[in-house]
Amino acid sequence: MAAYALRRGFLSSVSKYSRKHAHRILSISDTNSGFEAYKPRLQCRACGLLSGTQHRRFMSSRNRPEGKILETVGVFEAVKQHGKYETGQLFLHSVFGYRGIVLFPWHARLYDRDITPPVSDSKSEPLITHGSKEVKGKTHTYYQVLIDTRDCPHISQRSQTEAVTFLANHDDSRALYAIPGLDYVSHEDILPYNSTEQIPIQHELFERFLMYNPAKSPPFTARDTLKAWQEKNHPWLELSDVHRETTENIRVTVIPFYMGMREAQNSHVYWWRYCIRLENLGNEVVQLRERHWRIFSLSGTLETVRGRGVVGREPVLSKEQPAFQYSSHVSLQAPSGHMWGTFRIERSDGSHFDVRIPPFSLESNKDDKAPPAGYTF
């Protein structure tokens, strides 16, 4: 039985595919194009089971004056339970529903507070103590990916499509730049597919970084420009630690990134960005109402931040649209610190509960970071 949905209901369709193995997914693809860096003002402090089914086709319909025309865009492949996906792998995001392509993998340490580590493990990673609980770091694969620009407008209410930001390297020390359409994707987020199109993803970086090679599988291989870009820019791209915790069926995942140091009024200011995903693993409809952060600096200061929502939004998490992802930034006048806190969640009956944000470290690198190579703004 085919499961049909327009792009505004695309996320629901992907969830149904995951649970019911629907053969087809229908969506609207807008012709949104362009790659532009922009310069917002830096916000200080805390802001505001999948299984593979081969030969399953999913569809896309393009907006045209004469109406919506359904077009096959790919065929699902078997999901990899082990190993990793290669550069050039096309995929559908299992949570947010966008089309994307893998640029390269990262090996991160995942600190999952929902998992109790074994009593003895000779190959265990260092333990992190958060309160009274020790959390074992486990190696997990994440991917740097490109998002199809046609899909960005349809996921903008559920996920920011500017997950990669960096500091500018000029006199304006408050300048912040973002590269649209880059994301970090966990291994289990990927629903792999293949396509007969030589340019299946619309993104300005696609043809700069990848080329079509039908002799390969997947048939898109890295250009030298991608390899050089990765090598030069890994300090500000690199994903190292991931922290995860679930409270009352609401899972919070945090990924911190060190962005660099800037001098301001004869002192050093260290900047980090952090990506946060909230997921509703239950059936109850809930809404994020407030955030409460505690920010500790190695300099000895402890700051409390309270506010409505996050990044100006109060997202609703439901069974149909269970996730919300955003990025924010924080600065310290010390090279390291910690952050932790809670999100105040409201149920449909008006009652509230607090969801824990797993504590995570803010660690700086010894060397200051240069801006991304290959870009002039």
- Give the mean pLDDT of 34-57: 41
pLDDT at residue 26 above 60?
no
- Higher per-residue pLDDT: 270 or 236: 270
CA proximity to 298, closest of 356, 260, 339 = 339
pLDDT at residue 322 above 50?
yes
- Candidate ranges 11-15, 127-131, 200-204, 362-366; pick with highest mean pLDDT: 200-204
- Give the mean pLDDT of 85-96: 96
Residue type, 5: A
- Give the mean pLDDT of 264-276: 88
- Confidence band of 40 (pLDDT split at 50, 70, 90): very low
**Spatial contact of 142 and 105, defined as CB atoms under 8 Å apart:** yes
**The listed CATH number (3.40.1030.10, 3.20.20.20, 2.60.40.1470, 3.50.50.60) that belongs to domain 71-115+137-363:** 2.60.40.1470
**Spatial contact of 206 and 103, defined as CB atoms under 8 Å apart:** no
- Euclidean distance between CA atoms 294 and 117, whole angstroms: 27
Q: In whole angstroms, how far apart are CA 204 and each of 4, 46, 65, 328?
A: 30, 31, 26, 25
pLDDT at 3: 31
Residue type, 348: S
What's the burial of 212, exposed, middle or buried (CB within 10 Å: 0-12/13-18/19+)?
middle
- For residue range 156-181, what is the model confidence (pLDDT) as tens digits? 889 887 767 777 655 555 667 778 89
- Higher per-residue pLDDT: 55 or 143: 143
pLDDT at residue 280 above 50?
yes
Q: Where are the domains of the chain?
A: 71-115+137-363
CA proximity to 103, closest of 119, 116, 86, 118 = 86
- Confidence band of 20 (pLDDT split at 50, 70, 90): very low
Q: What percent of the chain has pLDDT over 70?
A: 70
- Euclidean distance between CA atoms 170 and 54, whole angstroms: 51
